[in-house]
């Protein structure tokens, strides 16, 4: 009972993070509540994000080795976690800031914003589904776990890196929701961090799984099914 209450309290606290960060960015841009909700997609974005952050501790509880450094570990990629976290915070502030300030609007109007919301939602879904599907083999580090197996089913059947794809979709989708050119530029930097990570991770996987990896990589794409 105490554990459940602790998780619930943590979930409620986490759910406030996107509300606070988005709100701060919006206020820094000179916006207020009434102007924020004049486009329903922005309200949808906040509510969806709060729900996503709320389920985070419950999802994390299903993954046993999420911080394991395993048998083989790329130490250089540990820095990427910090870089990506900082970049995501900047993105979360800059996107609503530029929207509120009326600076650097992307063309496309409501269609672009709702397309961004769809991309954002798919990204969030992949960020949750992929690590849960990996289970005990998932780690935030670039590593080979004990008794590591190459997973090629589920979300990994069409993409080699569905969680990283989710992170990229999440970032680009957010920038589009706020029609933010500065946000999109930050999202591109964020994407670059994951391309760097993918390069190192695939080198490690290729060395460990060899022919099995070669065959898998020939029939799948990295981040976008059937494209890249």
* pLDDT grade for 2, boundaries at 50, 70 and 90: low
d(CA 209, CA 194): 21
The H-or-E segment that residue 128 falls in is helix 109-134
Percent of the chain with pLDDT over 70: 98
Torsion of CA 89, 91, 93, 97, to 10 degrees: 170
Per-residue pLDDT averaged across 45-63, rounded?
A: 91
d(CA 10, CA 163): 23
- pLDDT at position 145 over 90: no
Per-residue pLDDT averaged across 83-105, rounded?
A: 96
Comparison of pLDDT for 1 and 185, the residue scoring more: 185
Per-residue pLDDT averaged across 88-110, rounded?
A: 96
Per-residue pLDDT averaged across 216-224, rounded?
A: 95
d(CA 215, CA 185): 35
The CB density around residue 219, as the number of other CB atoms within 10 Å, is 10
d(CA 213, CA 207): 9
Contact 173, 118 (CB under 8 A): yes
Per-residue pLDDT averaged across 136-150, rounded?
A: 86
Burial pattern 48-65, b for ≥16 Cβ within 10 A else e, equals bbbebbbebbeeeeebeb
- pLDDT at position 170 over 90: yes
The whole-number pLDDT of residue 182 equals 98
pTM over 0.85: yes
The whole-number pLDDT of residue 62 equals 81
Per-residue pLDDT averaged across 195-212, rounded?
A: 94
Token couple for 7: 């998780």
Token couple for 5: 């209450």
Could you identify the residue written with the tokens 């590591």?
Answer: 148
- pLDDT at position 66 over 80: no
The whole-number pLDDT of residue 188 equals 98
The whole-number pLDDT of residue 103 equals 93
- pLDDT at position 189 over 90: yes
Percent of the chain with pLDDT over 90: 77
């Amino acid at each position: 009972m105490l554990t459940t209450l602790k998780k619930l309290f943590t979930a409620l606290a986490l759910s406030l993070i996107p509300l606070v960060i988005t709100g701060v960015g919006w206020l820094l841009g000179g916006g207020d509540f009434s102007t924020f909700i004049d486009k329903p997609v922005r309200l949808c974005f906040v509510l969806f994000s709060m729900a996503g952050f709320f389920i985070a501790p419950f999802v994390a509880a299903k993954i046993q080795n999420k911080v394991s450094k395993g048998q083989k570990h790329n130490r250089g990629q540990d820095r990427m976690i910090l870089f990506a976290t900082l970049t995501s915070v900047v993105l979360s502030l800059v996107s609503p800031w530029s929207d509120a300030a009326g600076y650097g609007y992307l063309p496309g109007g409501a269609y672009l914003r709702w397309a961004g919301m769809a991309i954002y939602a798919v990204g969030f879904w992949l960020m949750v589904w992929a690590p849960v599907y990996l289970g005990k083999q998932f780690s935030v580090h670039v590593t080979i776990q004990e008794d590591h197996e190459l997973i090629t089913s589920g979300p990994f059947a069409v993409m080699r890196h569905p969680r990283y794809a989710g992170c990229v979709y999440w970032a680009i989708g957010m920038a589009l929701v706020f029609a933010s050119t500065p946000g999109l530029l930050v999202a591109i930097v964020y994407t670059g961090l994951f391309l760097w990570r993918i390069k190192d991770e695939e080198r490690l996987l290729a060395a460990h799984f060899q022919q099995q990896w070669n065959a898998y990589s020939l029939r799948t794409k990295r981040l976008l099914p059937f494209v890249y």
